[in-house]
Amino acid sequence: MIGSSIYLRDRAAFTGGTPQAVYEELWQRGRKGRLRTRAILAAVTLILCGTLINAVFGVVMAVLVAGADTYFHWRGYNAASVWRRGLRGEDRMNRLLRHTLERRGHRVLHARIVPGHGPADELLIGPGGVWLIHNEAWHPDAEISRHGGKVFIDGRTQSKLVAGLTATAETAGRLISERGGVPVKVVPVLAVHGGRQVKPPFVADGIAFAPPWRLLRWIRRNPSADLSAEDVETVARAAVHALPIGGRTMTSS
């Protein structure tokens, strides 16, 4: 298509009028204001610290204040990167798993199909059990919280999301158990990309919610099984055959 980027896949997030496009435009518009505020903070710090202590201390503190302000705004912008690109976070989580738990004896299956439910982002199999990881990215201002044991996004319950993820994990566990000949429980968890999560990590509706790094720490600290290295490989092989890629079924060799 003429005018479209050859480097980025066509996504609704890159079209005008979408929440992502509006957010990006407002961010760019606010650049001068952020720079002006940063300069004022640095100048006030320089004057106060220079007057009270000495000029060198004032310069150092002014630089630190300007750096802290820059980092504060960059952190918020960077946290929304997945959502701004119209993605859900699978690629980020895949990279994180590859450089952490996969190096510690865990096995990860990516984008497997759970019959009757659709794709599962990641299936993590390790000494502590089996987890089905689902990724979701929300607007930077979206509030993710827990009330009465239920998860709320901007004050609304997520019955459809919770029911779908729970059913997918249960079906995956049943199919892997039947294929491997051993009982396997698959625990659903959700990686939160963006938004404002209140007191992460937390468990709501039977599902752990947390940003990627915290979610992996939660998984390591909350085992649901005790699997040996041989058990991990057995479950992983059963999962490979029970959960196809893109609708293809696997046959035993």
Mean pLDDT for each 10-residue chunk of the chain (253 residues)?
41 69 83 93 94 92 94 82 85 94 93 94 96 95 95 95 97 96 95 93 97 96 94 95 71 42
Cβ atoms of 180 and 130 closer than 8 Å: no
Whole-structure pTM value: 0.80
So what CATH class is 88-242?
alpha beta
- Residue of 193, 232, 197, 198 lying closest to 213 (CA atoms): 193
User: What does the angle CA 177 – CA 90 – CA 130 come to, to the nearest 5 degrees?
Assistant: 25
CB within 8 A of 26, min separation 6: which ones? Answer: none
Q: How far apart are CA 131 and CA 108, in angstroms?
A: 10
Cβ atoms of 105 and 160 closer than 8 Å: no
Position 23 scores a pLDDT of: 81
Q: Report the half-sphere exposure of 52 (CA within 13 A, side-chain side).
A: 8
Position 78 scores a pLDDT of: 80
Cβ atoms of 4 and 27 closer than 8 Å: no
